[in-house]
A and B are shown apart, each in its own frame.
Chain A
């Protein structure tokens, strides 16, 4: 699961100054006497700080001085109310730019997230789920560059969707409910893993968790279809709904899978995905 570091003002060119400030702090604390402390750089634009923080890595607004004795006992969530910066919801456009400034350091904003209140973490994760869902399942301008779009993969969305699908299928079944649920869950989970391995073995370039995350998010249309089929028991309606949602799922999964492999092996990579979604579709239709 990845994290966004855009919970304060986005870092642009200040990452270098962050590294220098950190070195200043280390030098200041270690050397005494003939120390060569580098001249302080002008602080980068002021950002909202969590009032109590635990590390000297909080850069810009702290002038270089011996590290303060900061208490770190107080960042129990209940104690840090309004002043804590609320992270802006992750949007597809914003995720590319601030990330670049942060990758270089690994020091600055991540320690802010070490001390953020729990509610902020929850909100950040929820907004990540929503944005990933929108990226994967709905038409959007980032589909040409799929690797970039699902950069912020997370497994919570897929987890909820798989469990939801299993629950709906189990509810629709009149007999053997437990087996239906277990089979649906196991097939989907194992299927996602095996499909990812398939792409990797075909010589494709895909990141394991990113692909798991993608295949999970693409289940969303089938979830919707299964819910509709649960509510209305007409066979013809079921067939239509399942075909539509199946096509939607495959359309959602197509760009990511196809760009990951050699063009000559595209069909080899895509066919098992399609097969898995078709079998889930059959499961939805056949349950009564």
Chain B
């Protein structure tokens, strides 16, 4: 074995990754395959939407925190205004996040939305309004998560920049201070 080979990271949280993917895949698979076996729209609707809702909850509350250290939610403050909050872990922990984990997280998020859009186009072509309803609900849930986490990530990047500029500024000023105190 070549000792100078770079060490390949493994998934740091395999169980979370598994759950992150399984509900999405189950919803898509059930929706696609059920048309072959069931004729009952109600069952297809309820099971698919339930799996999609479970997936939404898992991504928002569990895998978002664990795989990429981001979280978003909505609060209503004392004035009765609704406030969206985006939160991320501190910079050190963010830097230490497993690359494979976050790759998996973001890619599956985007791919599911694309898959649902394609399925929606199919049902539109076939003029099946009720299946379009299912696809619409699942798509809404995926897009909500995508938007929330993307905003979170932008917020995190802004924080990193602000932190960096503050660090540089304060180091700069302390260096100048010490320089002047010596003179």
Chain A residues proximal to chain B, CB less than 8 Å: 1-3, 26, 30-35, 54-57, 67, 69-70, 72-73, 75-78, 99-100, 103, 106, 110-111, 113-115, 118, 121, 125, 147, 151-153, 156, 159, 163, 166-167, 170, 177-179, 181-182, 185-186, 205, 207-210
- Among residues of A, the one whose C-beta sits closest to the C-beta of B177 is A34
What B residues does A114 contact at CB under 8 A? 65, 69, 71, 87, 89
Chain B residues proximal to chain A, CB less than 8 Å: 12-13, 15-16, 40-42, 45-46, 49-50, 53, 57, 60-62, 65-66, 69, 71, 73-78, 80-82, 85, 87, 89-90, 92-93, 96, 129-130, 133, 166-167, 170-171, 174, 177-178, 181
What A residues does B13 contact at CB under 8 A? 73, 76
**Interface of chain B: mostly helix, strand, loop or mixed:** helix
Q: Answer whether A57 and B66 are a contact pair too, CB < 8 Å, given A34-B177, A76-B15.
A: no
Q: How far is the CB of B169 from chain A (nearest CB, A)?
A: 10
A106 touches B16 (CB 8 A): no
B16 touches A76 (CB 8 A): yes
- Among residues of A, the one whose C-beta sits closest to the C-beta of B12 is A73
- Select A178's contact among B12, B42, B167, beta carbons within 8 Å: B42
- Bound-state Cα–Cα, A110 to B71, Å: 9
- Among residues of B, the one whose C-beta sits closest to the C-beta of A70 is B93
- Bound-state Cα–Cα, A205 to B73, Å: 21
- Among residues of A, the one whose C-beta sits closest to the C-beta of B44 is A178
Q: Answer whether A181 and B42 are a contact pair too, CB < 8 Å, given A3-B75, A55-B93.
A: yes
